[in-house]
Amino acid sequence: MEFFLDTADVKLIKELNKTGLINGITTNPSLVAKSGKNFLEILKEITKIIKGPISAEVTALDTKGMIAEANKLKKISKNIVIKLPLTENGLKACKSLSKRKIKTNVTLCFSAAQALLAAKCGATYISPFVGRLDDIGENGMELIQQIKSVYSNYKNLNTKILVASVRNADHVIKSAIIGADVVTLPPDTLMELYNHPLTKKGLDAFLSDWKKTKQSIV
């Protein structure tokens, strides 16, 4: 399963890329607003750091406008993936871009029916939002299981499941058990994955015992 970082914070991307765990980046208009920086500049910066897929979201609501924005975003680098909303117009744009072999990420997916439509329109990635479903009392991971089952039934559906709105380690591990292709992680959630109280406790005990031996390795 691939790990994407869900952020538009270039400094953090540079830092966390050192973990060797980052396969790609996803951004969205809210993350760009949070960064306070120019969207196109951010994307240029990210492409200097990350060679894997970088999702850049369109903001037009009409198909023609989405395609015009996609054409501009595409020029930044060949690893830019065009992020489109899961609307009728978004899926028309998806179909048209996929015919031109331009990679797409269809976002704001909240049902298996929507995921099926996106796959039929040739989406490269579908982004179901698990955290936001949990927020309204539904089960986000059930949606991932449903999409996985639907896609697995048809060999001609090649859309990858990119689990988004990930909030915790449980979302990550359940995504891996189901066999999702990608999880996109907020930086804090990625860092959380390293931690277990028994790891810290065990290391503290090892080091305290080692000290008693008065040895050093180098």
Contacting positions for ligand G3P (CB under 6 A): 6, 26, 28, 129, 131-132, 164-165, 184
In the bound complex, what is the minimum distance in angstroms from residue 190's beta carbon to ligand G3P?
A: 13
3-state secondary structure of 105: strand
- Residue among 80 and 203 whose Cβ is closer to ligand G3P: 80
Give catalytic status of residue 34 as yes or no.
no
Is the Cα dihedral 82, 84, 88, 89 positive or negative? negative
To 5 degrees, how large is the angle CA 183–CA 124–CA 107?
60
What is the secondary structure of 175-208 as a DSSP string?
HHHHT-SEEEE-HHHHHHTT--HHHHHHHHHHHH
Query: What distance in Å separates the CA atoms of residue 169 and residue 194, rounded to the nearest whole number?
Result: 10
In the bound complex, what is the minimum distance in angstroms from residue 202's beta carbon to ligand G3P?
A: 32
In the bound complex, what is the minimum distance in angstroms from residue 81's beta carbon to ligand G3P?
A: 12
> Which residue in the block uniquely carries the two structure tokens 């951004």?
27
CA distances from 179 to 112, 156, 182, 191, 208 (A): 16, 18, 9, 22, 40
In the bound complex, what is the minimum distance in angstroms from residue 129's beta carbon to ligand G3P?
A: 6
- Residue among 30 and 152 whose Cβ is closer to ligand G3P: 30
- Residue among 52 and 155 whose Cβ is closer to ligand G3P: 52
- Residue among 92 and 132 whose Cβ is closer to ligand G3P: 132
In the bound complex, what is the minimum distance in angstroms from residue 145's beta carbon to ligand G3P?
A: 19
What count of residues does the chain have?
Answer: 218
How many helices (H) and strands (E) the chain has is answered by 11, 8
Instruction: Select the residue whose beta carbon is closest to ligand G3P and give its number.
Output: 165
- Residue among 191 and 205 whose Cβ is closer to ligand G3P: 191
100, burial (CB in 10 Å: exposed 0-12, middle 13-18, buried 19+): exposed
Catalytic residue among 83, 103, 148, 174: 83
Point out the residues that are catalytic. Answer: 83
